[in-house]
Amino acid sequence: MNAPTNIQVINGPDGKPVFVVMPYADYVARYGAERGLIPHEVVSRTVDGAPPARAWREHLGLTQADVAAKLGITQSAYAQQENGQRLRKSTREKIAGALGITAEQLDF
């Protein structure tokens, strides 16, 4: 059985479901990419000076080596891309794909 166990249904006075409560991280994972959401933690890290690719990577708990492996490049090559001022469109799309987000979520 693959039913999620961390979702709570709140019923109204008539006993019918009215609200669904779920952890925010699960919500972002399920609906974030399709709605283009950017978690507060990611935005906060970029305000503090981190490039968006780094902020997303750290938010997702990945190392540079993890992302580099998904891209088929070395960790040092990825580090240069991650710290670049402006990513080329093709590079941004590849990194976004490796992170499991949309290119638009990486370009803010």
CATH of the domain at 95: 1.10.260.40
Band of pLDDT at residue 23, cut at 50, 70 and 90: confident
Q: Residue 1 — pLDDT band, cuts 50, 70, 90?
A: very low
**16 lies in the same domain as 57:** no
Same domain as 13, residue 29:
yes
Range of the domain at 78: 38-108
What is the spatial distance between Cα 95 and Cα 105, in angstroms, rounded to a whole number? Answer: 11
Q: Looking at the structure, do residues 33 and 49 belong to the same domain, yes or no?
A: no
Considering the domain architecture, whether residues 20 and 48 belong to the same structural domain is answered as no
**Do residue 97 and residue 45 come from a single domain?**
yes
Q: What is the pTM of this model?
A: 0.71
Q: Which of 21-25, 48-52, 99-103 comes out lowest in average pLDDT?
A: 21-25
pLDDT at residue 72 tops 50? yes
Q: Which residues contact 34 (CB under 8 A, 6 or more apart)?
A: none
Query: Do 44 and 88 fall within a single domain?
Result: yes
User: What integer pLDDT is reported at residue 3 of this predicted model?
Assistant: 55
Please determine, for residue 30, whether its predicted confidence score (pLDDT) is greater than 90: no
Distance CA 102, CA 83 (A): 19
Coil/strand/helix, residue 27: helix
